[in-house]
Amino acid sequence: MSSQTPPAFDRNDPLGLDASLSSDEIAVRDTVRQFCAEHVTPHVADWFEEGDLPVARELAKQFGELGVLGMHLHGYGCGGASAVHYGLACLELEAADSGIRSLVSVQGSLAMFAIWNGGSEEQKQRWLPGMASGELLGCFGLTEPDVGSDPAAMKTRARRDGSDWVLNGRKMWITNGSIADVAIVWAATDEGIRGFIVHTDTPGFTANTIHHKLSLRASITSELVLDDVRLPAEAMLPDATGIKGPLGCLSEARYGIVWGAMGAARSAWPPPSPRSHRCSPASTRPAACESCTRRTKPSCGWTSAPWYRSRSESSRPGPRNGPAGRRRTATATSRARSCSTSRCGAWS
Ligand SMILES: Cc1cc2nc3c(=O)[nH]c(=O)nc-3n(C[C@H](O)[C@H](O)[C@H](O)COP(=O)(O)OP(=O)(O)OC[C@H]3O[C@@H](n4cnc5c(N)ncnc54)[C@H](O)[C@@H]3O)c2cc1C
């Protein structure tokens, strides 16, 4: 048995990963972490309460600018980053909120990956650059009301009519469904399961938002209805055949979700006890004082740090400017209770 003393537990790095990261991996991680601290964390409690992500499209464009949409894919305006870069981005996104990670992984690992992996050259050129920039939002329609865990038994059908395809069926629990520009829809055909690129303004396509979710509330989830949706032959993904088409996309997404789970675990870790907690006004690294970084009351030395100042400014009145934004800030404030942490008096 080894007599080596295990490293001290760090609640900001529960798995002790930081020491194995290169400087550019740390830079990617810190960039996404800071983005979330500025644009997600201050608002996510309100989005959760609303059961909505009212700024999904704006966030998508910001994520596009940040380079995290399809960041692990190569070419067509995608980032071409490593698997570790992508994983770290998912970890930080999910540390802020699972719904936000979901927005990014559905776009990059499901919708974009389906086109990148199974699409024609024309399809890739047509869709991927806009999706990487966040100008175009995609969704991925596999799950159905009756056969969620058994996609091979799907009832959505695509039948040939001349050179066209005609799709009928329903998809359930589809992230970003009602705000998407394009839906990747999987359907049974006489030649097995095939994937189709559906413009969401195609006649016969409807998306209904699902309300009253218990979790992933800061996320838009929808039902897709396909009622005689007529598509040209070139809407079909030529290189995605059979059930391995959609399942390959799920495997791709699961990789990011695994990293995301570590971010969720980090956020779930309880804050340090009042006795052990000491704010460090001299430091500018938010991770060193987690108790303060999540709060809005500017009362300790952290408030002079540049990242804190820009976060505070950008969080008022919120991504949706105007009275509604101010109202949400006030609601969050009235819900806040004073933190027992002796020196910072931050709010929880
Ligand atoms: C917020 C949210 C977002 C989602 N986003 C998307 C999306 O973007 N695209 C998409 O296609 N899908 C999406 N899904 C669907 C998700 O992938 C499905 O919920 C999942 O596949 C399970 O299907 P189901 O909900 O119909 O559960 P069911 O299939 O009804 O399963 C219910 C339970 O029974 C268990 N079970 C089922 N069959 C068996 C069996 N044979 N033996 C033992 N246990 C079994 C399951 O493990 C599960 O615990 C989303 C779901 C949610 C909640």
pLDDT in tens, 248-271: 999 999 999 999 999 999 998 877
| Residue 340 within any structural domain of the chain | no
The whole-angstrom separation of Cα 296 and Cα 326 is: 14
Residue 200's pLDDT is: 98
The confidence band for 1, taking pLDDT boundaries of 50, 70 and 90, is: low
320-343 as b/e: b if 16+ CB within 10 A: eeeeebeebbeebeeeeeebebeb
* Within-domain flag for 251: no
Of 227, 243, 259, which marks where a domain is finished? 243
Amino acid 11: pLDDT:
83
Please indicate whether residue 142, judged by its CB atom, sits closer than 6 Å to ligand 1.
yes
Q: For the chain, what is the domain count? A: 3
Residue 155 and residue 101 share a domain: no
Compute the average pLDDT of residues 212-241. 97
The pLDDT score that the predictor gives to residue 326 is 32
288, 280 contact by CB (below 8 A): yes
Given this model, what pLDDT does residue 135 score? 98
**Single-letter residue type at 316:** R
For residue 346, is it within any domain? no
Q: Is the pLDDT of residue 52 over 50?
A: yes
CATH code for the domain in which residue 113 is found: 1.10.540.10
Q: 214 in a domain, yes or no?
A: yes
Band (16; pLDDT cuts 50, 70, 90)? confident
Nearest CA to ligand 1 atom 18: 148
* Angle, helix 56-66 to helix 23-39, in steps of 10 degrees: 160
User: Quick one: DSSP state of residue 336?
Assistant: -
Does 229 share its domain with 276? Answer: no
Asked, for residue 282, whether it belongs to a domain, the answer is: yes
| Same domain, residue pair 48 and 100 | yes
Q: From the CB of 279, is ligand 1 less than 6 Å away?
A: no
For the chain, the average pLDDT equals 82
Whether the bond between 129 and the residue before it is cis, its omega within 30 degrees of 0, is: no
In this structure, the answer to whether residues 163 and 183 fall within a common structural domain is yes
pLDDT tier at 12 (50, 70, 90 boundaries)? confident
Same domain, 173 and 187: yes
**Same domain assignment for residues 238 and 169:** yes
Residue with tokens 């690129």: 197
Q: How many A from CA of 160 to the centre of ligand 1?
A: 29
User: What number is the average pLDDT over the span 180-209?
Assistant: 98
The reported pLDDT for the residue numbered 278 is 53
Name which residue sits closest to atom 12 of ligand 1, judged by CA.
Answer: 143
Residues of the chain with pLDDT > 90, as a percent, come to 70
Final residue before a domain boundary, out of 113, 133, 153:
133
106: left (phi over 0), alpha (psi -120 to 50) or beta: alpha
CATH number at residue 177: 2.40.110.10
Specify whether 216 is located in the same domain as 293: no
61 in the same domain as 120: yes
Dist. CA 289–CA 254, nearest whole Å: 31
Q: How far apart are CA 32 and CA 253, in angstroms?
A: 18
pLDDT in tens, 307-321: 233 333 333 333 333
In single-letter form, the type of residue at position 163 comes to S
Q: Which domain holds residue 43?
A: 18-133
Residue 9 confidence (pLDDT): 83
From 95, 118, 133, give the residue that closes a domain: 133
Same domain assignment for residues 204 and 110:
no
d(CA 286, CA 332): 21
Do 191 and 119 lie in one domain? The reply is no
Average pLDDT of span 180-200: 98
In-domain check, residue 6: no
Residue 279 lies in a domain: yes
Whether 69 is covered by a domain: the verdict is yes
Nearest protein CA to atom 51 of ligand 1, as residue: 173
